[in-house]
Amino acid sequence: MAQPQSKDASSHARLERYRAVRTQSEALAATLSDADATAQSMPDASPAKWHLAHTSWFFEEFMLAPVYGDAVRFHPQFSFLFNSYYDAVGDRHARPMRGLLTRPPLSEVLAYRAHVDAHMTRLFDDHPEACGLLPLGLAHEQQHQELLLTDILHLFAQNPLRPALKPDVNLQTANLEAAPMSWQRFDGGTVRIGHDETGFAFDCESPAHDVILAPFELATRAVTNREWLEFIEDDGYQTPSHWLSDGFATAQSEGWTTPLYWETIDGVWHTLTLSGRQRVNLEAPVTHISFYEADAFASWAKARLPTEQEWEWAARNTLPQGTFAGSGYYQPQVQTDANKTYFYGDVWEWTASPFVPYPGYRPAAGAVGEYNGKFMSGQMVLRGGSCATPEDHIRPSYRNFFHPDKRWQFSGLRLARNV
Amino acid sequence: MAQPQSKDASSHARLERYRAVRTQSEALAATLSDADATAQSMPDASPAKWHLAHTSWFFEEFMLAPVYGDAVRFHPQFSFLFNSYYDAVGDRHARPMRGLLTRPPLSEVLAYRAHVDAHMTRLFDDHPEACGLLPLGLAHEQQHQELLLTDILHLFAQNPLRPALKPDVNLQTANLEAAPMSWQRFDGGTVRIGHDETGFAFDCESPAHDVILAPFELATRAVTNREWLEFIEDDGYQTPSHWLSDGFATAQSEGWTTPLYWETIDGVWHTLTLSGRQRVNLEAPVTHISFYEADAFASWAKARLPTEQEWEWAARNTLPQGTFAGSGYYQPQVQTDANKTYFYGDVWEWTASPFVPYPGYRPAAGAVGEYNGKFMSGQMVLRGGSCATPEDHIRPSYRNFFHPDKRWQFSGLRLARNV
Amino acid sequence: MAQPQSKDASSHARLERYRAVRTQSEALAATLSDADATAQSMPDASPAKWHLAHTSWFFEEFMLAPVYGDAVRFHPQFSFLFNSYYDAVGDRHARPMRGLLTRPPLSEVLAYRAHVDAHMTRLFDDHPEACGLLPLGLAHEQQHQELLLTDILHLFAQNPLRPALKPDVNLQTANLEAAPMSWQRFDGGTVRIGHDETGFAFDCESPAHDVILAPFELATRAVTNREWLEFIEDDGYQTPSHWLSDGFATAQSEGWTTPLYWETIDGVWHTLTLSGRQRVNLEAPVTHISFYEADAFASWAKARLPTEQEWEWAARNTLPQGTFAGSGYYQPQVQTDANKTYFYGDVWEWTASPFVPYPGYRPAAGAVGEYNGKFMSGQMVLRGGSCATPEDHIRPSYRNFFHPDKRWQFSGLRLARNV
Amino acid sequence: MAQPQSKDASSHARLERYRAVRTQSEALAATLSDADATAQSMPDASPAKWHLAHTSWFFEEFMLAPVYGDAVRFHPQFSFLFNSYYDAVGDRHARPMRGLLTRPPLSEVLAYRAHVDAHMTRLFDDHPEACGLLPLGLAHEQQHQELLLTDILHLFAQNPLRPALKPDVNLQTANLEAAPMSWQRFDGGTVRIGHDETGFAFDCESPAHDVILAPFELATRAVTNREWLEFIEDDGYQTPSHWLSDGFATAQSEGWTTPLYWETIDGVWHTLTLSGRQRVNLEAPVTHISFYEADAFASWAKARLPTEQEWEWAARNTLPQGTFAGSGYYQPQVQTDANKTYFYGDVWEWTASPFVPYPGYRPAAGAVGEYNGKFMSGQMVLRGGSCATPEDHIRPSYRNFFHPDKRWQFSGLRLARNV
């Protein structure tokens, strides 16, 4: 959580940080029309307008209303419309119906944001003691920034006109080669895992605790599209022995034969990006794959996925540098350096670990205690951040999680093996 | 079909008529935002933007392209996006995905309309001989005007903010009483049914033919909300003996206990209209009911629904006057006059007749032959037009049709009985 | 309904008739194991055991209990288990769960039948005045005899061992040729349709009434498998212009490419029969097709299906002779005679007519009034009986009905056309 | 795996053990009719006949055919019909269709068993070197013995006649009281988990490995029905804050308000057992609950579920004694002794642990490698065995696993908490 500072410096830093994050959300949506910002392409996704409103509601509900009362609220029904899943707060609009909220328009949602920003600025000055949830609120908004990008990509992928959020980026022509696939060894032993309590972290990253790791090896970079193509061409999607039982059943019923968004045009593989349809860059990390596919690939490659503990132990001393959202590419980049191990950015890496509580885990008190704990069932941990993650959002202990069949995030994999 | 006229008069009348219909479509959408015009609330409904584009595509595809070639087309992919169901024309965008087409924006669709209008104007002058499908195209556009209204109502009904297309209309305060329920007798005999070939009609209204009708009686007005409330309060929705088997199963699985859009607020029945939420006017015709409900009500009332032949025979000499879309109310009005039989406007009346071909029916030649014929299965005929129907669109032989479980049209009922 | 006779003769005839029908039901099930008689292969079908019990329950419920009271009932829960759809009688076991009733065993159901038979015999003697529903009860049992056969065929078709009810019948080797396809003309005019009230008929066949028929022609025999194969080979299943819209959607979603039960073995078409898997006899009438397929075939053949009125008028003077269940073949036979019009037996013929009430129709009083009336929605009329219909069950006015997507009955088609 | 012994002794012991297990399967099915043994009440369950055949197929496929060739097979299609999920062996009959296999009859399946038994006896004598998979085959058959019981209970629960496998057992009248709820402390530390390689174990129990456990406490007995009733009465099923998100959604959509099989009769709770409907014994362990319910209860009780490592460490020195299938009760019994910790029998205990591979896990070679590994996704571990588990089947390291929404096993829970 936020550390104590001198009031003025703290207040100023707080405001700077708050403005930087809030402004970035609006920048991401700058090229969206009212209709773009309203549509919802599947129940897993949310409209951009909803992301912009919901993140504001979080501040209104958990920071402003407790201090200023209900009078501070912008609109009496917005809590019903823009609550996501906090049961303790009350009823909420059905998730699959979010795309039918053509009103309020985007302009009114932006006005809502300005309203909340004005009151938050006031709060920083008047009630610094009531700002304890600010780091959580900002981390929350950064999570929704990433979702806004992946949700818009999914929406645009449904449109035969293939719209683009950023039409001018085309990196596929770059003439880069991926570093050769190599392995780095880690000795394991009794190692410490989890957040060390310096700086903000989500509750699910604590408490830090010791685990025993056998020696293991990790690949120094993510699996590339070229390697994935070998899996495809070796009938990987049709060979049940590579797959988990639930995974193969899902792949069959969903008709998966490639990563999400791949399509051939005149025999050449293309994919959809936030800059429109582009050729698949065979040197870049594969992305938009599910855990089931990642696991099947690893099995086919006679390797396995790393556990989240192995990943964290291996990555703990590496600075979180890599291709993040700040690059503006929104596509994983070629990992070229043979002398480096790439842990952060480009693609979230599926691990072999279900998302379960750490020993001694306790959810935060109050409604925000619903933040992570109630999702600790049926989901798998991903690590490292992606090309759509804000750079200052990630850390070695960060645990992202999705159900094993989800593919619309920038999700890829790194191989591991026993020594 | 259109009758021959002197070229100039004909060309001018054609243009006037064309402009009147086209302008009306845009007028209906005038208060819609880009997002309102994009969303699709269920697979049965279409976005307003889609209605505006599809009706234009009809002219482009069936009248402009045959004369001017593909060069006349506004956009190469619009045929794929805005074809509804004409298999002969080629592939088309999946119907339930129409609401995800956030591009083209509404403004571009309006530009598309202007483009088509300009070329149609040219066609009227240059190729009067190629205008044979104009009456069909305009009738088609009028059908979509009604659907645009009922689809927007359904969309707004999903929004807890209860938006209104026309916020200023409130007719519920009117102090009118429905005429008493009374019966008018018709002798039947061998009577002629179907379109007499003067003026335009859809292919399904022909050929005219003789049928034998036993003597029958029709109620002089539609069933009112007050009468429907008696059915509700007499456990009509819970009593299987009133219902067709498929109807009761549907009512149970869908949880129907009132017409669509009804809700209680502090014990008072309200409904959703295109002017927002309003009290149910107990004197007005009941609407937003399915065929199944209409049939169950008739059974409960110890009566039956009229056949479409009975209806047409009874109504054939009455001028199509009543509350149509031109009134701007978009709500059924109280039928007050005890000395009149109300046949037209207010609510479409479900009949007892499945939508099947008349003896000797032949679909029109070419792709427009798909217009009606392929829907002659599983749907029921409705007669008379509604408060959302353009006034000059209706005639005694007009056959509307929907599946028996549909409720989002302005559909009601009139009782009939044997003598 | 049954005609008055001298008491003894009437009583004796009644008993003979009763015994003949009841014995036949048990004969059909004679080769079934307890498990065969218990399983339910789809919600549309019922277990053989259920057919045997339900038909007995009909007599118990509607004839015995009103006279002798509840003490006459064999088991207190059988009314709950073996009521089919009579809402007026009370709750009933969920239809899709019938196959899980492993108890009572078949032997107990047979004991139930004997119990009912004994009391019915007593009733004939003691209460001839209470036997008015006997013809209905026997006609009802005959309907279930046909369903028992088609349901068992459907069950056995799910078993890779391909069991047979009658393993020894193989008619496919017969060297018969179908009569050439020819047309018979009927002049139409004002004709009388419906049951003439001599002998038993279901309520839906009445009242007799006049209709006007234009001149028409009927094919003299049913469409054969050879002709159907031409439709298949001409891409009939893949060409939407032949199909009703609902029909094509169903064919696509269900993956229909042949009639039900067809499969190729080494390039040769086979089908499943109650005598096991046999080669498709190309000369025999096609069967196990839906209304949607029949309609598409007729459209492809530039013809149409007859209306039920045309069929009845054409067939009214022909004796109901043909291949019925009594033949023991349970397969449609080759219609060889060029000098004859085949109206009865072999395959039920889909008509173009939805199953709706005749003008002036009134359901029978009491619970048996649910027999037909509540199904008058969404179903199509079939005429003529099939190779699984008891011979004395059929008559010119007989109206069978099924939903347009059903294929497990012995259903085929005859072509018609306008003159 | 089986240990080497002198040939005769080994051969004899092998035969004795084989016969004991095989005979027990048939004993369990002794009161089932052919129909009982054929029906399948849901896709998760299998027919008793299928269990009897599939376990025999396992020996035929993996032990007999490799030695004697295909000539040893009883029937050419049984491999297709009775393979469960071994993709390496070939195609198989669709799982949800197993209940439609009315043939082969139960009698033929028993003949199949006798055929396999005869050849297995020969194998023991002639090819002792080829008997390595015998322990696996017998453990496999014991697993299906338990499933046969739980599947039959589920089937009988669908029948309003409430059949019973063992009608004469009624333990609910017993006047026993559960021991008071108390906690036993365990210090944890670095502890060894997994099978120690003495005697048979499944591959998923290996390799043994060290883990670090924080100190913890376990309840000394399972949660009782009385305690569960408190949860129900405190609105436990309706309070989302107790539940995992996926769990609450499942509970709502499935309408869960009690454990499976509970129903009230005149206000008294009853449940279905293999001895028919009986009053819920409030002192006995609760059973037929899902993981989601177990987790919600623990949360409501301000405790948690134990991890599988905590459970195994705590139970490792306790002999596997308790109420198993051999008791013939097939119902969990009251755990009365306050001086004892009950680890085995009565009910499987849901743990907090997803079923994932142990570090260094390798599936067995060949098709039997599909036994466990491919299910290591989306399922939760249960420990300790139940009243339907064969007594000699269980051990401290035994890992059972089911999806978190399954309720038809004898599954209950024990509470744990941090110190």
Our CA-based measurement puts residue D34 at a distance from the nearest CA of chain A, in whole angstroms, of 32
Q: What is the pLDDT of residue C86?
A: 76
Chain C contact set for B244 (CB, 8 A): 374-377
Tens digit of each residue's pLDDT (9 = 90 or more) over B93-113: 788 899 999 999 999 999 999
Indicate the helix (H) or strand (E) that contains B118: helix B106-126
At C170, the pLDDT band (50, 70, 90 cuts) reads low
3-state DSSP assignment of residue B165: coil
Instruction: Write out the two tokens for B241.
Output: 């003996």
**pLDDT tens-place string over residues A57-96:** 999 999 999 999 999 999 999 999 998 877 777 777 788 8
Q: Residue C267 corresponds to which amino acid? A: G
Cβ-defined contact of D404 to A378 (cutoff 8 Å): yes
Q: 């009644």: which residue's tokens? A: C14
**Partner-chain residue, chosen from C99, C104, C159, that has the shortest CB–CB distance to D103:** C159
Higher pLDDT, A273 or D11: A273
Q: For chain C, list residues whose CB is within 8 angstroms of any CB belonging to chain D.
A: 33-39, 41, 77, 80-81, 93, 97, 99-106, 155, 158-161, 163
Amino acid sitting at position C86: Y
**Residue B327 confidence (pLDDT) above 70:** yes
Tens of pLDDT along A224-248? Answer: 999 999 999 999 999 999 999 999 9
Q: What is the pLDDT of residue B229?
A: 98
Interval D364-373 mean pLDDT: 80
Share of chain C above pLDDT 70, in %: 97
Nearest 10 degrees: Cα torsion B68, B70, B74, B76 = 180
Residue type, B149: L
Mutate to test the interface with B, among A100, A107, A156, A272 (most CBs of B within 10 A): A100
Angle at D356 between CA D97 and CA D349, to 5 degrees: 75
Q: What pLDDT was estimated at residue B5?
A: 46
- From residue C288, give the alpha-carbon distance in Å to each of B136, C307, C332: 40, 20, 11
Q: What is the pLDDT of residue C4?
A: 43
| Least-confidence region, from A359-373, B153-167, D332-346 | A359-373
Per-residue pLDDT reduced to its tens digit, C11-60: 888 999 999 999 999 999 999 999 999 999 999 999 999 999 999 999 99
Q: What is the pLDDT of residue B173?
A: 53
The yes-or-no verdict on residue C5 having pLDDT over 50 is no
Query: Which band of pLDDT confidence, cut at 50, 70 and 90, is reported for residue D174?
Result: low
The residues that bridge with B401 in the sheet, in sequence order, are B381
Gap between the Cα atoms of B384 and B322, Å rounded: 10
| Distance of alpha carbon C331 from alpha carbon C410, whole angstroms | 8
Nearest to B240 among C87, C244, C418 (CB): C87
The letter for the amino acid at C99 is G
Residue with more model confidence, C151 or C172: C151
Phi, psi of B217 (to 5 degrees): -125, 145
pLDDT digits (tens, 9 = 90+) for D395-407: 999 999 999 999 9
Residue in C34, C106, C160 closest to D77 by CB: C160
**What local confidence, expressed as pLDDT, does residue C1 receive?**
38
Nearest alpha-carbon partner for D312 in D210, D396, D380, D393: D396
Confidence of residue A174 (pLDDT cuts 50, 70, 90): low
Question: Which amino acid makes up residue B244?
Answer: L
pLDDT higher than 80, residue D370: no
Statement: residue D2 has pLDDT above 80: no
| 8 A C-beta contact, residue D178 and residue D225 | no
The closest alpha carbon to A352, from A329, A331, A382, belongs to A382
Q: Which residues pair with B285 in a beta bridge?
A: B224
As a whole number of angstroms, the distance between CA B364 and CA B371 comes to 8
- Burial group, residue C180, by CB count within 10 angstroms (0-12, 13-18, 19+): exposed
pLDDT at C275 over 70: yes
> pLDDT grade, residue C3 (50/70/90)?
very low
Peptide bond just before D363 cis, omega within 30 deg: no
Best probe of the A interface among B52, B97, B100, by most A CBs < 10 A, is: B100
- Of B154, B110, B393, the C-alpha closest to B260 is B154
Mean pLDDT of chain A: 94
**Which of D190, D240, D356 comes nearest A352 by C-beta?**
D356
Can you give the pLDDT at residue D341?
A: 95
**B80, two tokens:** 């794929």
Bigger pLDDT: C243 vs A10: C243
- Give pLDDT, residue A337: 95
Residues of C in contact with B247 (CB under 8 A): 377
Judge contact between C318 and C341, C-beta under 8 A. Answer: yes
Q: Which of D397, D401, D399, D56 is nearest to D193 (CA)?
A: D397
Query: How close C149 gets to chain B, by Cα (Å)?
Result: 25
pLDDT at A3: 44
Residue of D nearest to A370 (CA): D241
From the CB coordinates, do chains A and B have 3 or more pairs under 8 Å?
yes
- Beta bridge partners of residue B189, listed in sequence order: B213
Closest CA of chain B from A152, distance in Å: 11
CA distance B83 to B57: 7
pLDDT band at D169 (very low <50, low <70, confident <90, very high): confident
CB-based contact D241 A209, cutoff 8 Å: no
CA distance linking residue D346 with residue D386, whole number of Å = 4
Mutate to test the interface with C, among D92, D100, D106 (most CBs of C within 10 A): D100
- Interface probe, candidates B355, B370, B377, B405, chain C, greatest C C-beta count within 10 A: B377
Q: How far apart are CA C379 and CA A304, in angstroms?
A: 56
D39 CB neighbours in chain C (<8 A) are 38-39, 99-100, 102
B356 and B308 in contact (C-beta within 8 Å)? no
Q: How far apart are CA A272 and CA A156, in angstroms?
A: 9
Contact call for residues D74 and D115 (beta carbons, < 8 A): yes
The structure tokens listed for D331 are 């119902």
State how far residue D20 is from chain C, nearest Cα, in angstroms: 28
């480096």: which residue's tokens?
Answer: A340
CA atoms within 13 A on the CB side of B256: 27
A244-303: per-residue pLDDT in tens? Answer: 999 999 999 999 999 999 999 999 999 999 999 999 999 999 999 999 999 999 999 999
pLDDT band at residue C365 under the 50/70/90 scheme:
confident
Between helices A134-157 and A7-28, what is the axis angle to 10°? 10
Q: Is the separation of the CB atoms in D330 and D149 below 8 Å?
A: yes
Q: Which long-range contacts (CB under 8 A, 24 or more apart) does D234-237 make?
A: D234/D300, D236/D296, D236/D297, D236/D300, D237/D296
Average pLDDT in the A374-378 region? 95
Closest C-alpha to D321, from D344, D338, D303:
D344
- With an 8 Å Cβ cutoff, the interface of chain D facing chain C consists of 33-39, 41, 77, 80-81, 93, 97, 99-106, 155, 158-161, 163
For chain C, the C-alpha Rg in angstroms (whole number) is: 22
- Cβ distance D212 to A211 less than 8 Å, yes or no, reads yes
The overall longest dimension of chain B from CA atoms, in Å, is 64
Does the pLDDT of residue B314 top 70, yes or no? yes
Alpha-carbon distance of B281 to B174, in angstroms, equals: 9
Task: Using alpha carbons, select from D100, D114, D108, D113 the residue that is nearest to residue D47.
Answer: D100
Q: Which amino acid is at A416?
A: A
Contacts of C346 (CB under 8 A, 6+ apart): C222, C284, C285, C287, C322, C323, C332, C333, C335, C386, C387, C410, C412
The verdict on whether omega for the bond into residue A180 sits within 30 degrees of 0, i.e. cis, is: no
Structure token digits, residue C208? 């007799």
Q: Give partners of D (≥3 CB pairs < 8 A).
A: A, C
Residue B222 near residue B347, CB atoms below 8 Å: yes
Q: Is a pLDDT exceeding 70 seen at residue D6?
A: no
pLDDT at C172: 55
